[in-house]
Amino acid sequence: MSAVPLLDEPYPLTEAQIEQFRQEGFLHLKDVFNAATISHYREHIARVTYDNNPLVGKDREELGTYEKAFIQVTNLWTKDDVVKEFACNKRLAKIAADLLGTTGIRMWHDQGLFKEPSGGFTPWHVDQQYWPMATGLSVTAWIPLQAVPIEMGPLCFGRGSHEKKIARDMEISDDSERYIQDQVKKQNIDEIQEPYDLGDVSFHYGWTLHRAGPNKTESPREVFTVIYMDAEMTLMEPKNSYHQADWEAFTPGTKIGEVMNDRLNPILWP
């Protein structure tokens, strides 16, 4: 099977998997892509990520914990047509629609998240606190571009934490790591961390607590993520500087209260 046709073929989900996602806040799926697909698109994703590395020339000792965790580049799909082909694929978008229970799915943005061999841990946090979205109907697909054993730092999720409303106004930092870890223990939230085989993809709500360990291997942990939202998602009035910044970066043509129908937010499904 070639790489491109696979992108339009549906990945069947069971009702049990959908229910599990909605209860636990995340879902780890096996064999979403074959090795040929990952290999084909990894080359382009890696090139665009490294070419746009924001850490080039910076003194590592002066970086914060978050910056030390990985190279982060957003909106890769706008920088390369082959990356766009992968980022906008119907296979993942249909999974997102099934999990969220929406009739349509839009792009919020994509990211290259490359944790180098020296990459430190990613602190506990929630994603959606940074996004000016009016509802919680958002989901992130976390797509490793290689197998990710535990020592390479795969995601760790707080089971059911999307319902807990913990640290929803805390910037990702050493403080969020300490506070959320304490709350995870106090509220008896299960921490779920599993290795990823090549071709695995996980999905998590924007409000699901998650973190990742450091990369203790000699190889970079290369991951591509795509963040999806309900096709009818509207822009809420920014509550903080992060909301304002993401409004300007990811849906600049949208006005408060409007559906995010910006050119950067195409409908990916159906």
Please state, in angstroms and rounded to a whole number, the distance separating the CA atoms of residues 153 and 74. Answer: 20
Buried b (16+ CB within 10 A) or exposed e, 163-177: ebebbeebbbeeebb
Q: Classify 109 as helix, strand or coil.
A: strand
Please state, in angstroms and rounded to a whole number, the distance separating the CA atoms of residues 73 and 109. Answer: 10
**CATH code for the domain defined by 27-265:** 2.60.120.620
CA angle in degrees (0–180, nearest 5) for 168-171-175: 100
Place of tokens 């806040």: 25
Please state, in angstroms and rounded to a whole number, the distance separating the CA atoms of residues 108 and 87. Answer: 11
Q: Give the chain's mean pLDDT.
A: 93
Please state, in angstroms and rounded to a whole number, the distance separating the CA atoms of residues 264 and 270. Answer: 17
**pLDDT at residue 200 above 80?**
yes
**pLDDT at residue 35 above 50?**
yes
User: Where are the chain's structural domains?
Assistant: 27-265
| pLDDT tens readout for residues 131-189 | 999 999 999 999 999 999 999 999 999 999 999 999 998 888 889 999 999 999 999 99
| pLDDT tens readout for residues 57-74 | 555 566 555 566 678 999
Q: What pLDDT, on the 0 to 100 scale, is given for residue 55?
A: 64
| pLDDT tens readout for residues 207-233 | 999 999 999 999 999 999 999 999 999
Please state, in angstroms and rounded to a whole number, the distance separating the CA atoms of residues 96 and 203. Answer: 8
φ, ψ dihedrals at 73, nearest 5°: -130, 130
- Tokens found for residue 137: 């109907």
Runs of H (alpha helix) within the chain:
3-6, 15-24, 35-51, 65-69, 81-87, 90-100, 174-186, 241-250
